[in-house]
Chains A and B, each alone.
Chain A
Amino acid sequence: MAYIPHTDEDVSAMLEAIGAPDIKALFDEIPAELMIDSLKGVPPALSEMEVGRLMLDRADRDGRPLNFIGAGAYEHHIPAPVWAITTRGEIYSAYTPYQAEASQGTLQAIYEYQTMMASLTGMDASNASLYDGASALAEACLMAVRANRKSKSSRMLVPRCVNPTYRLCTEAIAGTQGVTLETVDYDPQTGCTLLDALRAYEGQDITAVVLQQPNFFGQLEDVDAVTDWARAQGALVIAVVNPVSLALLRPPGEWGERGADIACGEGQPLGVPLSSGGPYFGFLTTRMEHIRQMPGRIVGRTLDLDGRSGFTLTLQAREQHIRRGKATSNICTNQGLLMTAATIYMTLLGPAGLESVASACIARTAELVAALTAIKGVRKVFEGPRFHEAVIRLDSPVQPVLAALAEQGIVGGYDLSRDFPELGNAVLVCATETRTSDDIARYATKLAEVLKHPAAA
């Protein structure tokens, strides 16, 4: 098809056809007080050369530290073919297709992605991806309100050991649409959702229970007990999961007697590099019974008039370009580029490869916890099984220690004191398959030095 911009003659002809004097007239329903002449505070445009220099200078400031921080975004090895293929001209697009069925390759990539995510989470169906993990949880909560028609309360039970950023984001998005988040405490011994705190809500109208596995502290929840309790209350179960962990852990579709209703999370660990907080991508999968309440685009496989196999957007009547104000969501797009990278990442690794990544993460984190807690003044905070993160507690305030480590080129972990002051001088540390035994030994040595001579560091 031709990508030729409209000529002035084209524009005039179109305006004449609809009886508009000029293009500005098309926007005359916007009140004058909302119109502005220019953007204040925006600096003048830079040339490509200047922008390139600026970005390099800023990237240099980050350096290449040895990273032991996770807290929602994780450093994994990304095989070179992932981005070599993703950035090929045929598929290098950030965006969801508009004339969708003319883009069979894109639709097939989305279809493969959906198949993999549904399989990984043990669910029947996946959408084509969302913006990020946090907004995926917000969408999952809004979806639960639509799907749980017996519940009238729009109340979600959300344990404090769910990623605090996800909770804030969900409050911001879903809180303004009538959803109430009730915070449920965690067990100070295990760092897992306190079942007794959930039971305080027994007999009340609860729309859904959110459960993160592994949770924000890296601890593994008793997903069966929570899922079955929630179902007995008539509440749906929203699983927030790390896709890499699902290579080893039981998928949400198999939690408890009947499985979770919605699974969502951050897709970044699947082939997307750490990059100043994004762009990443969110995923959301569900059971067939809830599919019409699922937000976002869905690609289906079909036959054309000649009986040939092909791909098409499906269930579009839920979406806002058709359903207008009553659409399931205002999400009418997906994270096309990152979802494509994730599909290629999963294809290259396969189930066995992903499992070996997950196993290596667990082994490295166990090694890290052992090395750090061998240092005087460093203790493990929670007991019980974990994935690739752990909470450690120091004898002294966290910030100066992390700052001293940063001086040594080590990102030592995520300071929990802001979100979890009750944990004291606590740090969330992470080791993925990318951390070697030497890396871990270096971190332990430097931490011991810093703790021994805080002033010198």
Chain B
Amino acid sequence: MSNVPGDLRYTRSHEWVRTLPDGSVEIGISDHAQAALGDLVFVEVPETGRQVASGDAFAVVESVKAASDVYSPLAGEVLAGNDALASQPELVNQDPYGQGWIVRLKPASMADVEALLDATRYAEHLASEA
């Protein structure tokens, strides 16, 4: 069973969202998603300042045999991509909810964050997909 921390929000496409003290959010892919992809060899992060809509493909995670889009869970402005992933994409595998974060975003509306899946419902979603 994959790790689903209780303090985060999730999407059905397996992204997670953490609200930071300054009102920005950190986004990554779930433990389930990294395990399904296998060892990552490359992560493409969006450029700072980009305006994204909810559901936009804004990053790419690439393993040896597949490349998948990461979809923005929220509308907002990209504050930063995780530059450490350029040389260490494996951080997403090793620490998907920590050092493996992919994007920091300034959400257009905090209410959008609340509307995402909580840990319980994401765990149910995982169970239903299994």
Contact = CB atoms under 8 A, between A and B. Distances in A.
B69 A317 contact: no
B42 A292 contact: yes
Contacts of A323: 67
Interface of B: 41-42, 44, 47, 62-67, 69
Interface residues of A, number: 9
A322 B67 CA distance: 7
Contacts of B63: 317
A40 B69 CA distance: 45
Contact of B67 (A149, A150, A317): A317
A326 B41 CA distance: 18
Contact of B47 (A150, A316, A317, A322): A150
B44 A292 contact: yes
B59 to A, nearest CB: 12
Interface centre among B47, B62, B64 (most CB of A within 10 A): B62
Nearest to A289: B86
Contact of B66 (A149, A292, A322): A322
21 contacts: A149-B47, A150-B47, A292-B42, A292-B44, A292-B62, A316-B65, A317-B41, A317-B42, A317-B62, A317-B63, A317-B64, A317-B65, A317-B66, A317-B67, A318-B67, A322-B65, A322-B66, A322-B67, A323-B67, A326-B67, A326-B69
Contacts of B62: 292, 317
Nearest to A317: B67
Nearest to B62: A317
Name the prevailing secondary structure of the A interface residues.
Answer: helix
A326 B65 CA distance: 15
Interface in A133-183: 149-150
Given A292-B44, A322-B65, 6 more contacts: A150-B47, A292-B42, A317-B62, A317-B64, A322-B66, A326-B67
A317 B62 CA distance: 7
Contacts of A318: 67
Nearest to B63: A317
Contacts of A317: 41-42, 62-67
Nearest to B41: A317
A21 to B, nearest CB: 34
A326 B63 CA distance: 15
Contacts of A326: 67, 69
A142 to B, nearest CB: 17
Interface string A281-295: 000000000001000
Interface centre among A150, A292, A317, A323 (most CB of B within 10 A): A317
The 6 A-B residue pairs whose C-beta atoms are closest, nearest first, are: A317-B67, A317-B62, A323-B67, A149-B47, A317-B66, A322-B66
B28 to A, nearest CB: 20
Contacts of B69: 326
A100 to B, nearest CB: 14
A357 B66 CA distance: 44
A156 B67 CA distance: 28
Contacts of B42: 292, 317
Interface in A314-342: 316-318, 322-323, 326
A430 B66 CA distance: 48
Contacts of A150: 47
A258 B60 CA distance: 28
A153 to B, nearest CB: 15
Contacts of B47: 149-150
A318 B66 CA distance: 8
Contacts of B44: 292
Nearest to A149: B47
A87 B76 CA distance: 59
Nearest to A327: B67
Contacts of B67: 317-318, 322-323, 326
Contacts of A149: 47
Interface centre among B44, B65, B67, B69 (most CB of A within 10 A): B67
Nearest to B57: A326
Nearest to A324: B67
A318 B60 CA distance: 11
A455 B84 CA distance: 75
A66 B33 CA distance: 65
Nearest to A319: B67
Contacts of A322: 65-67
Nearest to A291: B42
A390 B82 CA distance: 52
Interface in A195-230: none
A316 B65 CA distance: 7
Nearest to A322: B66
A316 B64 CA distance: 8
A248 B112 CA distance: 61
B129 to A, nearest CB: 21
B78 to A, nearest CB: 12
Contacts of B66: 317, 322
A292 B45 CA distance: 13
A150 to B, nearest CB: 7
Contacts of B41: 317
